[in-house]
Amino acid sequence: MKQKIRKMQIKGTSTKPRLYVLKSNKHIYAQIINDEKSHVLTSISSNSKNINKFANCEIAKIVGKNIGKELKNRKISKIIFDCGKHSYHGQIKALANATREEGIKF
């Protein structure tokens, strides 16, 4: 019988919030979350007014750059990356690398 392995709960703080990435069949979403206050600081997606295209790796890079710029505006330089149940490749990796290019560390 297989033993279930529980994933450690990832939590963001006010000094180091959590970047949660959600991917659907058509779009990709990124949220900055402070788990101490249960508050979403900012979010952006491929469905936003300024992007509004179906997600692919190029659109994921645009979402990553925009979330990185928003973090710099809020004077946040360190975050915790949470890709949920998704593997770290393709669109998720493109978003993470674009965020890193904006100077955000995780």
Tens digit of each residue's pLDDT, the chain (106 residues): 455 444 567 888 888 999 999 999 999 999 999 999 999 999 999 999 989 999 999 999 999 999 999 999 999 999 999 998 888 999 999 999 999 999 999 9
Amino acid at 98: A
Regarding pTM above 0.85, the answer is yes
| 99, burial (CB in 10 Å: exposed 0-12, middle 13-18, buried 19+) | buried
Cα dihedral 45, 87, 79, 64 in deg (nearest 10)? -30
- What pLDDT was estimated at residue 6? 47
Instruction: Show the domains of the chain with their CATH numbers.
Output: 18-101 (3.30.420.100)
Q: Which residues make beta-bridge pairs with 43?
A: 31
What's the pLDDT score for residue 7? 55
